Amino acid sequence: MRDVSSRSGVSGGAGTSQPLALAGMLFAVSMTFIDQTIVSIAAPSIIRELGLSSSGMQWVVNSYLLSLAAFFALGGRVADVLGHRRMMLVGTVVFVVASALCGAVPEGGAALAWLVVFRAVQGLGAALMFPAALAVVVEVFPVERRGRALALFFGVSGGLTALGPILGGVLTSWTWRAIFWVNVPVAVVAVVLTLLARIRNTPRPEPIDWQGAALVAVGMGLSVLGLQQAQTWGWDSALTWLCIIGGLAVLALLVVVELRTDHPLISMQIFRDRAFSVDNAVLFFSMMAFVPVFFFASVYAQVSLGYSPNEAGLYLLLFFAGFGPASQIGGRMLDRRGARPPMLLGTLVGAVGFALWAVKITDLSLGAQWPYIVLAGAGIGLLLTPASTDAVNRAIGRSYGEVTGITQTVRNYSASVSLAVLGTVLLHTLTDRVQQTLEAQGLAAGPAHSAADRIAQSITGHGGGSGAPTGVDSSVVRQIQVDFAEANRPVLIGMAAALVVAYLCARLHPGTRVTAASEAAEPVPHPAP
């Protein structure tokens, strides 16, 4: 296998404006990050105006994430074949057209089908755009400056996730349709900046493995669907496990097929590189904490602290007060010392931050929690850029799109697993605690359990928004707020545990560094851990 470090000095071509290229890619991917959280804030308004059920609204949210998971790998491969700049533009257009159509959904019986379909098309556009945009940044910046460039890329784009609730609250006060229409001017800016940057399109005409694309779409789609629906169908449901196990079986078949394919969708040989495998393992376990924290912390801020959706968004910004600066430090450490030191430091700092946050979360005071929220964010910021960049730097034959497709698929799958498992832990813990609270008020065990289950479902919500429980005596509300804080403690401990596993994985990294000097070197592959 050729050394993955030998492709790193490529630039985007003479005349390419690196600042404009980076800005264009940031504007493009910002839409995908904001869309992960903005729709949940507008959910109550959408349900009310269109007459949707909570389960129907959950499909509106999940269809985007399902499509994203199913098509990321294909998007990365197509970007390599047709050119990164071209596919970034195509993905942006697909995404923004679907966004505009989501905002134009007609009222009536067709509303749900309309939203689900075009949200899925949005996910397809994001899957085409994101790997291509990240690959553009990798190509445009030489290896000695790539860590800092991608630190800015991940720092800014990741921070935009926290703006989703704030922006959603502001736009929904006008009309919920604006949460989709806001993508139109952002996409226009992204396209204009991309054209002005004069980025060279570098296609690599090769056959596309459509069989592999179908297998990964079915495997990822089925397993993610099972994880998404586990709380609705139940973990004891045969349908839940049929989707999860069936999806994993299809993914196992994908590995066998890809190893026998001349031009595979995913080059399995890259996993023989020890550093690449470790990078992806670190991303998998660390993303179990990073992505779900937005959902859990947002609901906690509204329920236990009594914040509005906009204030909950500001609560999340504390996380990025640590994440943003730390991502810049992590990028500089990567450029100077390689990926291993910042990954080790980041996983350790993040684990400590989440653990201490778990200790203080029952103190219903922002003053008691903020240092640990910042520390948790700093840990994720330190490790995210080095792990992602080091993996992409090791692309076989400069298949940057393919490798970014792999890393983003790993990240999204990790988030799906974590949201399903931790969401179940939260729901069951909350139900037990609320039941104890209601029984202490004199309610019999049976009715107390039924009421606790109903309250827990309404708080953790499946597409219906969140807030303080309603229909409960005011004297009990305060205790339920404490119960919800207590229920979030094992969630944060689970996130800390995931980062401990990520730390152990990071220790297996060989410590080799990708440098411009190694560009012409013939590789010496590392054995897989």
522 within a domain of the structure (yes/no): no
What domain range includes position 62?
4-208+265-433+485-514
Residue labelled with tokens 């309250």: 455
112 and 202 share a domain?
A: yes
97 and 22 share a domain?
A: yes
Evaluate whether 269 touches 1 at the Cβ level (below 8 Å).
Answer: yes
326 and 227 share a domain?
A: no
Give the pLDDT mean for 461-472: 49
41 and 141 share a domain?
A: yes
189 and 83 share a domain?
A: yes
The separation between CA 492 and the C-alpha centre of its own chain, rounded to angstroms, equals 17
Res 518: pLDDT: 53
Out of 36-45, 394-403, 430-439, the most confident range is 430-439
In angstroms, the CA 239 to CA 247 distance is 12
440 within a domain of the structure (yes/no): no
Number of H helices, E strands in the chain: 17, 0
192 and 75 share a domain?
A: yes
pLDDT at 435 over 70: yes
DSSP codes of every residue in 85-118: HHHHHHHHHHHHHHHHHHHTPPSSTTHHHHHHHH
123 within a domain of the structure (yes/no): yes
203 and 215 share a domain?
A: no
362 and 258 share a domain?
A: no
274 and 253 share a domain?
A: no
519 within a domain of the structure (yes/no): no
Evaluate whether 411 touches 392 at the Cβ level (below 8 Å).
Answer: no
225 within a domain of the structure (yes/no): yes
Res 217: pLDDT: 92
442 within a domain of the structure (yes/no): no
175-208 pLDDT, tens digit per residue, is: 889 989 989 999 999 999 999 998 988 888 888 8
Note every long-range contact of 506-510, with CB atoms under 8 Å and residues 24 or more positions apart, other chains counting.
506/278, 506/282, 506/340, 506/343, 506/344, 506/347, 506/383, 507/344, 508/274, 508/278, 508/281, 509/274, 509/275, 509/278, 509/279, 509/282, 509/339, 509/340, 509/343, 510/274, 510/275, 510/278, 510/340
392 and 360 share a domain?
A: yes
**Of all residues in the chain, what percent carry a pLDDT higher than 90?**
42
499 within a domain of the structure (yes/no): yes
| pLDDT-based confidence at residue 256 (cuts at 50, 70, 90) | very high
196 and 243 share a domain?
A: no
The amino acid present at 346, given as its one-letter code, is G
Lowest mean pLDDT: which of 29-38, 69-78, 103-112, 376-385? Answer: 29-38
One-letter-per-residue 3-state SS of 252-292 = HHHHHHHHCCCCCCCCHHHHHCHHHHHHHHHHHHHHHHHHH
Evaluate whether 489 touches 426 at the Cβ level (below 8 Å).
Answer: no
Res 2: pLDDT: 36
441 within a domain of the structure (yes/no): no
End of a domain among 228, 247, 264? 264
CATH number at residue 138: 1.20.1250.20
Q: In total, how many domains does the chain have? A: 2
380 and 414 share a domain?
A: yes
pTM greater than 0.95 (yes/no):
no
The separation between CA 462 and the C-alpha centre of its own chain, rounded to angstroms, equals 19
